[in-house]
Amino acid sequence: MAQVNGRLAVLTGGGDCPGLNAVIRAVVKTALKNGYEIYGIENGFNGLITGTMKLMDYQSVSGILPRGGTILGTTNRDNPFHFAVEENGKYVFYDKRDEVVKNLRDRQIEALVVIGGDGSLNIAAKLAAECNVNVVGVPKTIDNDLQCTERTFGFDTAMAMATEALDRLHTTAESHHRVMALEVMGRYAGWIALHSGIAGGADVILLPEIPYDINSVIRKIEERRKAGKKFSIIVVAEGAKPIGGELSVARVVEGSFEPLRLGGAGEKLVREIENRTGIESRCTVLGYLQRGGSPTAFDRVLSTRYGVAAAEACIRKEYNVMVSLQNDRIVTEPIAKVASKPRLVPVDSEIIRTGRQMGLCFGD
Ligand code: F6P
């Protein structure tokens, strides 16, 4: 029998994201190549609590590089420190850390790779600090809002999807002389809206970081009309809100790491534009199309680099870090530093200035 150098495990947590399978594939292949056994934990932290995991081999990751979603399954509930169970129509919360530690010890798993966004990486950091679990994080989210890295994987794919949607909205907006708004995801950060808006040639981009004045948006639409441009394209981040106004909340998901789900900012905006200008205005919500499907070539490469780097960190026993991209190099950062607060678009950044020079309206 071949010598086993050690045993690792990998899980995917939070919302799914293009590139998850590419990371899993890279982690598993690197572990196996270096004589490690590796468990795939099913359905995020749920599988860690219940002990639902299986040993992975080359066959288990064959053909998954271009596939969207995650072969391991995921959930954004099931926090082991605050595990929600519905009892008599009410949620009761339990601490499941002992189950997690036991499941890892029973299988002699020495380190756990957590592929996740801020919610999952927060839990990973807590497992490291309070339960002595060795963790390595991989920054996942289409929102690109994690501290300590220039890029999360999945963002490029979401941005490409939103840009394609804007190209398509352009032709229909132009034909009908309408105002067309595209509502994109991103939670409290405007990265998807900003980048897709610039790539898709939008006229107005509304970001959570810059509360908007509806008068400024209407002025832009009317200026365009006067210049003979009878249509306008607006990108609205789901976290955008008017000056002094509230976030648009679509629902509250009990037992989730992050219970508020945003949605509705685009519809609210187009209704107001139509009421005030009389111009026919429509909103398209891009929603989960930004998260589903095949990752772009950029995300496949980034995910593969992250996966290899995460497995390598485990092998050299550099624990309690997150792999990160800085100046096109993959480095590591203490995982405890990552989870503090979301990384927002700096309002005085070069890319915002670029947009302004291009005549874009940010609603301020
Ligand atoms: O964090 C990724 C993300 O897609 C956000 O952009 C969005 O606000 C949220 O997840 C949606 O979460 P859910 O999948 O729970 O509806």
- 267-311 tens-digit pLDDT: 999 999 999 999 999 999 999 999 999 999 999 999 999 999 999
Residue 356 CB less than 6 A away from ligand 1 = no
Residue 262 CB less than 6 A away from ligand 1 = yes
The Cα–Cα gap between 165 and 162 comes to 5
How far apart are the CA of 42 and the centre of ligand 1, in A? 20
How far apart are the CA of 246 and the centre of ligand 1, in A? 19
Which atom of ligand 1 has the smallest separation from the CA of 253? Answer: 15
**Average pLDDT in the 154-178 region?**
98
Which atom of ligand 1 has the smallest separation from the CA of 187? Answer: 8
Look at residue 1 and tell me whether its pLDDT is greater than 70: no
Computed over every residue of the chain, the mean pLDDT equals 96
| 171 neighbors 233 (Cβ within 8 angstroms) | no
Partners of 204 in beta bridges: 234, 361
Look at residue 107 and tell me whether its pLDDT is greater than 90: yes
Residue percentage of the chain with pLDDT more than 70: 100
Residue percentage of the chain with pLDDT more than 90: 93
Give residues with Cβ within 8 angstroms of 88, minimum separation 6: none
Give residues with Cβ within 8 angstroms of 236, minimum separation 6: 181, 182, 183, 184, 193, 206, 265, 266, 269, 283
| 115 neighbors 140 (Cβ within 8 angstroms) | yes
pLDDT at 225: 96
**Average pLDDT in the 176-181 region?**
98
What confidence tier does 77 reach under pLDDT thresholds 50, 70, 90? confident
Look at residue 338 and tell me whether its pLDDT is greater than 90: no
Residues classed as catalytic = 143
Edge-to-edge strand order for the sheet containing 329-334?
A: 53-55, 36-41, 6-12, 111-116, 135-139, 321-326, 329-334
How far apart are the CA of 191 and the centre of ligand 1, in A? 14
Residue 142 CB less than 6 A away from ligand 1 = yes
Residue 295 CB less than 6 A away from ligand 1 = no
Q: Ligand 1, atom 13: nearest CA belongs to which residue?
A: 15
Residue whose tokens read 């105002």: 179
| 160 neighbors 192 (Cβ within 8 angstroms) | no
Look at residue 60 and tell me whether its pLDDT is greater than 70: yes
Which atom of ligand 1 has the smallest separation from the CA of 256? Answer: 15
For the whole prediction, is pTM greater than 0.85? yes
Instruction: Say whether 279 sits in a helix, a strand or coil.
Output: coil
- 5-19 tens-digit pLDDT: 999 999 999 999 999
Edge-to-edge strand order for the sheet containing 281-285?
A: 204-206, 232-237, 179-184, 281-285
- 242-276 tens-digit pLDDT: 999 999 999 998 777 788 999 999 999 999 999 99
Residue 185 CB less than 6 A away from ligand 1 = yes
The Cα–Cα gap between 185 and 237 comes to 6
